Structure 1
Amino acid sequence: MGHMLLPFRLGLGGPIGSGHQFFPWIHIGDLAGILTHALEANHVHGVLNGVAPSSATNAEFAQTLGA
């Protein structure tokens, strides 16, 4: 996230395009937890989808970073 914050701190950040597109995100610690669980649990099979529990648009995400 640090490399994403620099443009905002310099006043150069903002949404990409219209900002209406959804921006899936997840914290690296949460993704590591998902992968650890999948490796340790015998009942996990198939595709895993690791994203945050709620969705944000690119504009909402940019606004939060700029706050």
Structure 2
Amino acid sequence: MIVGFSFQGTELIGIAAGESENPEKNIPRAVRQVFWRILLFYVFAILIISLIIPYTDRACCVTT
């Protein structure tokens, strides 16, 4: 739930389709670009952070 805000805005592709000159070509391209951007910025960032923090660190396992 905390990271749900990260994926907001992808529904705007449908709105942009109504204003696009060639939606059959431009919308699939835009969807692919959004997919790769989400993958790059969010998933890879989480992967890099998880590789930097050692799994034996006790601070990761402590809850309040």
| TM-score band, normalised by shorter chain | 0.3 to 0.5
Instruction: State the TM-score, normalizing by the size of structure 2.
Output: 0.33
Name the one with the larger helix percent. Answer: 2
Larger RCO, structures 1/2 (Cα 8 Å, 6+ apart): 1
Instruction: State the TM-score, normalizing by the size of structure 1.
Output: 0.33
